[in-house]
Amino acid sequence: MTVLAAAAFTIPLGALAEELICRAWLPQLLGRWVTSPVLAYGLVVPVFAFVHNPGSIVEWANHLISGTCFAILA
């Protein structure tokens, strides 16, 4: 039961941290240095794919494509 409670607490914190880094902080930081938001998010998307710890190049490409789609929607 304590493992379930710990997971229920830590999993949302990990997701929140990922969203804050990959969607809020890093694009804003890079946006100060580059003029194009496309370039700023283009630099963030590989970080997003790497954070998900892909086991193969296919999984990394999948995260790269999904990260690109999420960046377009942002």
Domain-embedded: residue 9 = no
Domain-embedded: residue 4 = no
Domain-embedded: residue 42 = yes
Q: Which domain holds residue 36?
A: 19-73
Domain-embedded: residue 47 = yes
Per-residue confidence (pLDDT) for residue 54, from 0 to 100: 73
Best CA proximity match to 46, nearest among 13, 1, 30: 30
Domain-embedded: residue 45 = yes
How many domains, the chain?
1
Asked if residue 71 lies in contact with residue 44, where contact means CB atoms within 8 angstroms, the answer is yes
Domain-embedded: residue 55 = yes
Domain-embedded: residue 2 = no
Domain-embedded: residue 14 = no
pLDDT tens-place string over residues 22-70: 888 988 898 899 988 889 888 888 888 888 877 888 988 998 998 899 8
